[in-house]
Every structure is written in C-alpha cells, then in structure tokens.
Amino acid sequence: MAGDLVSTLADLKEKEALGIVQDRLSAGDDPLSILDDARRALEIVGKRFADSEYFIPDLVYSGEILKGITDMVKPKLAKAAEVKRLGKVVMGTVAGDIHDIGKDIVVFMLDVSGYEVYDLGVDVPAQKFVEKIKESGAPIVGLSGFLALAFDSMKETVEAIKAAGLRDKVKVMIGGGQMSEEIRKYTGADAYGKDAMAGVTLAQKWVGAK
Amino acid sequence: MEKKWEEMSSDEKQEELFNRWLSPKDPEGNDLKFQNPKAEKTYKERITRIKDAAQLKKAPDRVPVCPLPNMFPTFYYGITPQEAMYDYDKCSAAWKKFVLDFEPDAHMGCAGPGPGKFFEILDYKLYSWPGHGVAPEHSYQCNEGEYMTADGYDALIDDPSNFFSNVYLPRVFGKLEGFRMLPALTGILEMYGVAFNFIPFGLPPVQEAYKALFDAGAEALKWAGSVGGFDGEMAISGFPALLGGFTKVPFDTIGDTLRGTRGIMLDMYRQPDKLIEAMEALTPLMIKMGVGAAQMNGKPVIFIPLHKGADGFLSDEQFKKFYWPYFRKVLIGLIEEGCVPFPVAEGGYNSRLEVIKDLPKGKTIWMFDTTDMARAKKTIGTVACITGNMPTDLLALGTPQQVKDYAKKLIDTAGKGGGYIMTNGAFFDKVKPENVKAMVDFTKKYGVYK
C-alpha cells in the first residue's frame, strides 16, 4: 500500500516520495490527485520555511523532488491541470542585476501560497515589466535586486510603469540584498519586503484589499 | 640569532608577518624609500592601529577606518567600471584618487576590476563584465552554473589539480577547450612510455590553448605592472595595502563556482559523503593558497569572502555539519602560519555568532554586513576583531549627519575597548562621496581612545 505522499514529500524523502508516486500511478490512481497531494506537501514546505524550520537548501530540494514527480505524472495527464489561483504576480530581477536566488525563493513562496507568478527572470528591462503587466493584468509586481545598482533600476522600472499609465493599477514591492525602507522611498515602490514571507504577506494584503 | 620560520610559534609567526608588513620592500627587495619621514611614520602608525585592533591586547590609539569599495572609485573619478577594466592606468589613477582623498588606514588595492582584455583572450564564461554581458557602468557579476557536474566529485577528490586543468578550466574558459586532452603529468615516469604522454601537446587544440595562455599571460603581466605599482606608490605616500592574499571556505569553493548554489544544496541531500570528502580534499589547498600569498606579499591579512553560510542559506545543523568544520580548519591552518584571516560575512551572520567564536583570541578580523554588531561584540567580538556594518543604503541615500550618527553608534558599541575597525558592510559602488568622507573623518575624530 502506498504511503502518504504529502508527509513524505514535506519531509523531503525523495526516493520514498518518488516510489509512492510510481506505486499510485501503477495502481491507476488519478494523476490530478497526486499533483494535488504534491501541492499540499509544498505548502507545508513553505510554511516550515516561513517558520525558520526549513532553509534555502530545503526549498531547493523540495522543488527538485516536485520536478521529478511532475515528470512522472505529466505523461498520464489528459490536459494541464486547472488550479484556482488567488491572484497574479509579475516578478523579476531588475535591469543590470543577474542575481536569482532571492527572486526564486519569493517566486516559490508565492507559487505554493496559491499565486500565479509570471517570472521574467534576471536582468529584466523596465519595458518588459510594463509589457507583462499589460498582457497579464497582474495587480502585483515584485522587483528583486541584490546589487546597489538595482536601486536605480528599480526606480526606473517604477517610473516606466507610471509612464505607461499603469501605476494606479498595480502595487509594487521590492526586496533583496541591500534593500530597505529608505530604498523603497527612493524607488517609489509601495512596499519593501525583508524576506520571502514578507512578500507573501504583502501579496495577501493587496489581493484581499481588491 | 634569528629563529627560523619553522621553529616559530604561531604567535611569533604572526608577529613576523606584521613586522614584514611594517617594513615594506621595493620591487628589488630593498627597504622601501618613503616619500618623506612623515609618510613613513603615518604608514607604520596605520598598520600598528590595525594590528592593535586585530590582536585584542590593547586598544589602538583610535578606531582604524578603512572604507572598502567595490567600483566606487571609478564613479568618483568619473570613469565607468568598463574603462577601469580595460585601461589599467585609468584604473590605478581612479583608485589613487580614492586613497589620497579619503585617506583610509588601509586600502584593498586596485586589482578589484581585473583586466578586461585578459578575460576576453581566454573567453571567460564564469562572469559577465561591463561591456561584456552587463552595462559599461555596472560591476561584473557571476554566471552561476554547474561547472562541475553532480558526478564530478570522484575526479575532484582523486586529483584536484588534474580536475581543475582538464575539466574545470575548459568549462570556464572557452579558449582552454584543448586542455581536455592534456595527459596526467604523474604518468611521465620512465623512458618507456614517456613520449606517449607528450602526444597531446602536438595536437592543434592543445597548441591553440597554449597560444591563448601565452597571450593571456602577457596581458596579465601588463595589468600586474599597473596594479602592483599602485600598491608600492601608495605605500611610499604612507598608505598600506590591507591584503596579503585571499582564499575561500571549502563549502563556498564548491558551492560558488564548481557546483553552484542549487547543485551543492542538492548534494547535501543526495551525496553528503562525497561533498564532505571533497571539502576535506580542498581544505589543505585553501590553506596553502592563503599562506603562500601571505608569504609572497609579506602581509598577514587574508581575505575570505563568505557566501553560502549566511543566515537563511543553511540551517544551524547544516552550517555545523557542512560549512563550519572545514571553514574552521582553514582558519586554524592560516593562523598557525601567522596569517590573520579576514572573513567577510556578506548578508546576516546572526545565527552563526555562537558557533564561530570557537577560535583562538586575537587572530582573526571579521567583517559583517547586516549582522547585529552589539551581539557580534558580545560573542565573536570577545575573541576577534570585528569590522563593518555601515549600511550601503545609508551611504547611497543618507546624509552625512545620518552616517555620523550611525558611526557613533558603531564606535560606542562595537568599538568599545578596541577590537573594531570602521568599514562599510558590503563593498560599495555608487554612493555619495560626502557620506564616505563623513564616515572616515568622523571616525578619526570621535574614535580616539582615551
């Protein structure tokens, strides 16, 4: 009999988790229910990270195990699973900065918290943010940056959003390396998040307020 | 009669390296001729100040202050980081202006930007640099990747040198592709078979790689003439160069540029024993790297940038299992050879303070970025000199008065009784010059120990 995928994956037992998935697929289990369990497990991982029980390596590893599970389940899926999402977020590391770890963690945390995240990657020009906001209609924008040069890129990105007439349609949060409340003021963003959880809290506040 | 190096205790070795730093030589090996007696006096006072802060035996005459920039001198001088990487004379001129205008107690030299053309000659893939993947006015940044694959551990552990020459170098330098064909030099033993080993050197890809190396070497030499001359010129004017060399923590060596962050984090779960074995193999190499440089340059302070051990990057258990044991071995190895390790903890190190204080007293200098300095003073500060913490955002956007207020707080807490050097928390780029000036001048006035 297959063990509990939710707790096994949440406890980061890769081999066991993949074994359970294999057993359940062989037994003809619904692939969607497997993915749903995986999603619930990742929620637990996110919560443990928020509680400082898990750290970055644990997030990275859980994401890797999930990838393995998705690879196994995907061929059995009739069509892409429709998941109800809380809201849309456009995320990226601003122009000139190619650091991705912090941004990836926020993307991960938002994703497991139920948000649809458009990850634009690193070194993202201001205009690309603007285009994605237009295209997706996302009400939340996350600007990530590790280097001090990101102060200016963030400011320019916020200005570009304003110039496109979108400033009152989105809330902008910034985070990463040397960011602070002072930098937030400088860039013209709406909020500064000290860590990944702060990003999720902000998104919840903003989506709830809508 | 003078004691031989091998007969000295680690205390005596440290003293000896400080003495060599205090008595600099010119390129011919003769005693350096200072500009004037005042420059000589100031030079020695500056080093003595840092030495007193580091050794924790007594408070220095005042808190030493060393603003440690990244690309700031280029902006201050009015050139881009790209120009600094491609015009070596402009680079040293920019750093010279920085040192002469701000008068730090020690500087980190002008080797930071590095020689742009050299990197081009070898087609360096590990970094993007100004004009070569990032904008001319930005600093270089690392392109993380798995330059060592998950199954590469055995090759690294068995023969690190061979792994670097035949696997790692061809991956990070496009022009060294031919090195994949190099023979193992340890196979060159007896008359019979010797020539087989030399066949690769006759093959076009290997010869191409060597041609690129010769060109790169010539460019590096050209650059070294400029940046090496800078240190000497500054010393003559009374400004000591801080660093004797640099090395890394084995976990970062693997996690930064071999396996990458993602790679090493997965290895902690999937192949922890291999990771540990590889760190054990790298530990003596990391020690030698620092010790060798300190000996060659005649200066004790060895820079160790810290990355993957910061708060949040590893749990306490992971830090204690994977990071600290080999880090500590490197520190102790350096200390035993008279070096003063200078670990630079970027990000926060609050959760590590209790662990890292397990060190002999007066042997290390710890630079902190966002770490709580009052807590650092009570923990690691009881056995080591601490430095840093002036926030980048304050230097970039604050006022001189705000910088002075922050500096006062640092001197009052971290600087109490000695054992503190005023510096920024993170190596800075474009900040307000008047704020850097405020940090230095205020420390020189307010930081005097009575």
Distance from CA of A67 to the nearest CA of B (A): 13
Give a yes or no: residue B379 inside a domain.
yes
**Chain B contact residues (CB < 8 Å to A):** 128, 134-135, 137-139, 141, 143-144, 261-262, 265-266, 268-270, 312-315, 318, 347, 391-394, 396-398, 426, 428-431
User: B246 and B229 share a domain?
Assistant: no
Distance from CA of B372 to the nearest CA of A (A): 15
How far is B301 from B286, CA to CA, in rounded Å?
A: 15
Contact B334, B342 (CB under 8 A): no
Contact B270 A14 (CB under 8 A): yes
For the beta carbon of residue B347, count every other beta carbon within 10 angstroms: 22
pLDDT band at A86; cut points 50, 70, 90: confident
Contact B430 A56 (CB under 8 A): no
> Which of B187, B209, B239 corresponds to the end of one domain?
B239
pLDDT score recorded for residue B308? 95
Question: Quick one: closest CA in B to A153, which residue?
Answer: B138
What ipTM was assigned to the predicted interfaces of this complex?
0.86
Give the mean model confidence (pLDDT) for residues B95-112.
Answer: 97
Nearest by CB to B265, from A14, A57, A123: name it.
A57
User: B442 and B304 share a domain?
Assistant: yes
Helix B37-55 crosses helix B10-22 at what angle (to 10 degrees)?
160
> Which of B197, B217, B239 corresponds to the end of one domain?
B239
Question: Quick one: closest CA in A to B266, which residue?
Answer: A61
How far is B413 from B416, CA to CA, in rounded Å?
A: 5
Distance from CA of A42 to the nearest CA of B (A): 17
Q: Mean of the per-residue pLDDT values for chain B?
A: 96
User: B38 and B176 share a domain?
Assistant: no
Q: Which residues pair with B386 in a beta bridge?
A: B366, B420
pLDDT score recorded for residue A100? 84
pLDDT score recorded for residue B183? 92
In chain A the domains, ranked by start, together with CATH numbers, are 5-76 (1.10.1240.10), 87-209 (3.40.50.280)
Contact B141 A98 (CB under 8 A): yes
Contact A42, A62 (CB under 8 A): yes
Kindly state the tokens that stand for B272.
Answer: 């922890």
Residue type, A115: Y
User: B406 and B418 share a domain?
Assistant: yes
How far is B436 from B400, CA to CA, in rounded Å?
A: 8
> Which of B184, B213, B239 corresponds to the end of one domain?
B239
Give a yes or no: residue B226 inside a domain.
yes
User: B253 and B297 share a domain?
Assistant: yes
Whether pLDDT at A15 is above 80 = yes
Question: Quick one: closest CA in B to A96, which residue?
Answer: B134
Give a yes or no: residue B83 inside a domain.
no
How far is B356 from B346, CA to CA, in rounded Å?
A: 15
pLDDT score recorded for residue B3? 86
User: B218 and B269 share a domain?
Assistant: no
Whether pLDDT at A1 is above 80 = no
Give the mean model confidence (pLDDT) for residues B277-291.
Answer: 98
Give the mean model confidence (pLDDT) for residues B92-112.
Answer: 97
Contact B269 A96 (CB under 8 A): no
User: B222 and B271 share a domain?
Assistant: no
Q: Which residues of B touch A178 (CB under 8 A)?
A: 391-393, 426
pLDDT score recorded for residue A80? 55
Nearest by CB to B138, from A101, A149, A182: name it.
A149
How far is B82 from B74, CA to CA, in rounded Å?
A: 9
The secondary element (H helix, E strand) that includes residue B169 is helix B169-172
Q: Which residues of B touch A182 (CB under 8 A)?
A: 393-394, 397-398
Contact B269 A186 (CB under 8 A): no
Kindly state the tokens that stand for A120.
Answer: 């634009």
Whether pLDDT at A28 is above 70 = yes
Contact B315 A58 (CB under 8 A): yes
Domain count for chain B: 2
pLDDT score recorded for residue B29? 87
Whether pLDDT at A49 is above 80 = yes
Q: Mean of the per-residue pLDDT values for chain A?
A: 89
For the beta carbon of residue A48, count every other beta carbon within 10 angstroms: 18
pLDDT score recorded for residue A194? 87
User: B36 and B153 share a domain?
Assistant: no
Distance from CA of A133 to the nearest CA of B (A): 25
Q: Which residues, including other chains, have CB under 8 Å from residue A134's CB and lie 6 or more apart?
A: A164, A166
pLDDT score recorded for residue A105? 85
Give a yes or no: residue B341 inside a domain.
yes
Indicate the burial class of B185 (C-beta count within 10 angstroms; 0-12, 13-18, 19 or more). exposed
How far is B439 from A86, CA to CA, in rounded Å?
A: 47
Question: Quick one: closest CA in B to A100, which residue?
Answer: B144
Domain region containing B123: 114-239
pLDDT score recorded for residue B226? 86
Distance from CA of A115 to the nearest CA of B (A): 23
Whether pLDDT at A78 is above 80 = no
How far is A67 from B266, CA to CA, in rounded Å?
A: 13
Contact A55 B313 (CB under 8 A): yes
Give a yes or no: residue B90 inside a domain.
no
Edge to edge, the sheet with strand B365-368 lists: B245-246, B301-306, B340-345, B365-368, B385-388, B420-421
User: B368 and B313 share a domain?
Assistant: yes
Give a yes or no: residue B76 inside a domain.
no
pLDDT score recorded for residue A177? 79
pLDDT score recorded for residue A210? 43
Contact A186 B397 (CB under 8 A): yes
Distance from CA of A48 to the nearest CA of B (A): 12
User: B221 and B247 share a domain?
Assistant: no
Strands B127-130 and B141-142: antiparallel
Kindly state the tokens that stand for A81.
Answer: 């699973």
In Å, how far are A65, A182, B62, B94, B378 from B385, measured between CA atoms? 43, 30, 14, 30, 11
How far is B77 from A202, CA to CA, in rounded Å?
A: 41
How far is A105 from B308, CA to CA, in rounded Å?
A: 15
User: B344 and B222 share a domain?
Assistant: no
- Residues B220-264 have pLDDT tens digits of 999 998 888 899 999 999 999 999 999 999 999 999 999 999 999
Indicate the burial class of A84 (C-beta count within 10 angstroms; 0-12, 13-18, 19 or more). exposed
CATH number at residue B303: 3.20.20.210
Give a yes or no: residue B310 inside a domain.
yes
pLDDT score recorded for residue A104? 87
User: B146 and B221 share a domain?
Assistant: yes
pLDDT band at A209; cut points 50, 70, 90: very low
Nearest by CB to B139, from A54, A57, A147: name it.
A147
Give a yes or no: residue B100 inside a domain.
no
Contact A195, A51 (CB under 8 A): no
pLDDT band at B147; cut points 50, 70, 90: very high
pLDDT score recorded for residue B202? 96
Distance from CA of B323 to the nearest CA of A (A): 13
Out of B57-66, B98-107, B223-232, B385-394, least confident range: B223-232
Q: Which residues of A touch B135 (CB under 8 A)?
A: 96
Phi-psi region of B31 (alpha: psi -120 to 50; beta: other; left: phi over 0): beta
